Amino acid sequence: MEATCSFKRIEKKYLLSEQQYEALFRRIGHHLTPDAYGRSTVLSLYLDTSDHRIIRQSIEAADYKEKLRLRSYGTAAADSAVFLELKKKFGGVVYKRRAVMSLSEAEKYLRTGIKPFESQIMSELDWAMRLYGWPQGAMLIACEREAWFDGEHPDLRLTFDRNIRCRDSELRLDRGSAGTALLPEGTVLLEIKTAGAMPLWLADALDAEGILPGSFSKYGAAYTRSLMKNPHTFSVIEGGKQHVVNL
């Protein structure tokens, strides 16, 4: 496993019912192969400032979004591989920087600022951490994920996320994946990730099933839910428009 890597790609999101998922998969399943993680529980610990500056900027900005997170596949142990990630979205294109380290190394880094190794990408992550005044765990998001790729289009990746849930306590990757549901039961979040245009067979299948792209941020929805606990807060601004999240 490489210690660091970077991505530049287009990501589109779709909220599906189970019936839409099944109908879509009947059309496209023969093109797809499970990726290295296949079916897994994904835990993402989003890092933020004490006043939630990172997610507030992301919600309020129409064209630029940024997130810092620590991710594991399954509940992590001290020696488990975890991924420290900086994700930026500008003009519809997603840029990601990712460094792989053990959970114990990641926790030491977040606690002390001592980098587990030196690399260009680790320096970029460190710069972002310092820019935001050393953010810490603010929200844990978990989901059950199916991840697929197409051998004929190696830059194409599809993920289907179910039971997306969050919690704002027990903010550690070694404390399990329990949380409060963010979407109605039976909702599936599809993310299509590609370096360019999606293949025609996939575009045709989405069109045949009437599946249209939408907008859904897991951390944004979780943060909004936490605000809704405050009786004086009823909405947030995203992309210059007012939204209320119904749970």
Looking at residue 120, its pLDDT comes to 96
- Answer whether residue 161 shows pLDDT above 60: yes
Which residues fall within 8 angstroms of residue 230, CB to CB, at 6 or more apart? none
Domain range enclosing 28: 4-243
pLDDT in tens, 38-51: 899 999 999 999 99
d(CA 65, CA 170): 26
Average pLDDT of the segment spanning 138-151:
97
Q: Give the CATH number, domain containing residue 197.
A: 3.20.100.30
Length of the chain: 247
Looking at residue 37, its pLDDT comes to 85
pLDDT in tens, 80-93: 999 999 999 998 89
**In which band, very low, low, confident or very high, does the pLDDT at 229 lie, cut at 50, 70 and 90?**
confident
* Number of domains the chain contains: 1
More confident residue, 15 or 91: 15
pTM of the predicted model, to two decimals?
Answer: 0.90
Tokens of 164: 């997306």
Which residues fall within 8 angstroms of residue 112, CB to CB, at 6 or more apart? none
Tokens of 233: 């807060």
